[in-house]
Structure 1
C-alpha cells in the first residue's frame, strides 16, 4: 500500500512539472502582455535626437543669429505703419517687408536648430548686438511718436539704413559662409532689400 501511494505521488509531481514547463514555453513565445514588441521598444529607447548637421561653418551661425533680431526689428517697424501713415505706397511697402521677413525668421530658426544651435527670440539683439542698421531705442521711440508725413520720412530713412545693414551682413555670408541654404537666404535678402531701398529713395525724392 505504501508503494502504491508513493507511485501516485511521484506521478502527480511529474504531471505538475510537465504542466509548469508547458506554461513557461507559452510565455517565452510572446504571450505575456506588453512583451510582443520588446525589441522595438528597446530600439526606440536607445535612439536619441537626430545628429546636428555638419554642412555649415561659424560664419553661417553668426549670420543667422544676427539676422533674426535684425529681421524682428524690421517687422516691428512695419507693424507701426498702419494707423500712422496715409501713404498707400508706404502701407503696401510695409506689408511687403513683413510678409517677406516674418517667414524668413522661421527659416532662420529651423536652420539654427538643424545646426544644433539655440534659436534666437524676437527680442534677442535689439540692444545686445552691435549690428549695422539696427535702430536704437531712442530712434524707435521717436518713430512711434510720429505720424503723417513726418512718420513716413522717418520710417523710410530708418528702413533704408536698416536694409543697408542687412545687405552688408548678407554679402559677408555670401563670401564666407558654407551652408547652401544660409547662402541662398542671404542672396534673397540682398535682391529683395536692394529693390526696396530703390523704391524708398524714389519716394523720398532721392532719385
Structure 2
C-alpha cells in the first residue's frame, strides 16, 4: 500500500528533543558586605539580564535560554508518536481509495486535503521517533477510531455514492479517535513538537468532523 511505502521512506527533519537548561548558580547572601570577596567554596553571584536580553557577564545561562528548548520527550510524547503514525497511515489508505472510488468531487477533494496533512505529519513523527530510538506501533494495533480490516476491504469494493457515504462515516469515526489521542497528548505530554501537533490535530479534526457531518446529512 501507498501508506506502507510512506512509512519506510519518511525521514523527518523536525526539531529533536531539546536539552534541559543548566541549573542556576546560587547567588551570594544579601547580608554579606559589598566588599567581601567570595570564598573558593562559595558560588559566585549571578548576574542580571540586560534590556537587550543578552545578560551581564556572569549571567545565569538558564535565564536567557530559549523556553522551547527546556523539555525533552516524556512517555506520553513517545506513546503519542508511536500511535499516530499507524493511525494516520490508515487514513492515508482510505484517502487513496477515495481518489479512484469516490463519486463526488467534494469527497475526492477532502481526501486529498487529508492525505497532504497526514503525509507531512507522519514524516515529522517518524523523525522524532528515529531521534528517540523508538518505532511506530504495528499497523493492526487497536486504537480509538481505527477501522477493522473487514471495513477497509468493504470500502475498497464500494464506488460512487455508496463509497462516499461509507467513506465519510468511517472517516468521522477515525477523526474522533485521532482527536482523542491528541487531547491525551495535550494533557500529558512535555515535548513542544508533539504537543503543537496534538493541538493542530485536535483543532483541525474537530472542524473536519463538523464539515463531514454536514455533508453526510445532505446524503440522507
TM-score of the superposition, structure 2-length normalised?
A: 0.65
Distance 2:177 2:17 in 1: 30
- Indicate the residue corresponding to 2:112 in structure 1: 95
Q: Is the 8 A contact 2:76 2:185 kept in 1?
A: yes
Residue correspondences, number: 152
SS of structure 2 residue aligned to 1:134: coil
Name the one with the larger helix percent: 1
Find 1:112's aligned residue among 129, 132, 151.
129
Q: Which region of structure 1 is more displaced relative to structure 2, 173-182 or 85-94?
A: 85-94
- Indicate the residue corresponding to 1:132 in structure 2: 144
Distance 2:157 2:185 in 1: 35
- Larger Rg, first or second structure (1 or 2): 1
TM-score of the superposition, structure 1-length normalised?
A: 0.69
Distance 1:62 1:52 in 2: 15
Is 1:190 the counterpart of 2:202? The answer is yes
SS of structure 1 residue aligned to 2:217: coil
Distance 1:168 1:52 in 2: 24
Deviant stretches of 4+, over 3 Å: 51-54
1:27-63 Cα deviation digits (max 9, x unpaired): xxxxxxxxxxxxxxxxxxxxxxxx9766110000000
Give the superposed CA RMSD.
1.9
Q: Unaligned 5+ residue runs, structure 2? A: 1-15, 20-71
User: What is the correspondence of 1:30-179 to structure 2 with a 5 Å cutoff?
Assistant: 55-114=72-131, 116-120=132-136, 124-127=137-140, 129-179=141-191
Q: Unaligned 5+ residue runs, structure 1? A: 1-50
Distance 1:136 1:126 in 2: 11
Distance 2:164 2:106 in 1: 10
User: What is the deviation of 1:117?
Assistant: 2.2
- Indicate the residue corresponding to 1:202 in structure 2: 214
Distance 2:118 2:17 in 1: 25
Distance 1:151 1:201 in 2: 16
Distance 2:91 2:133 in 1: 23
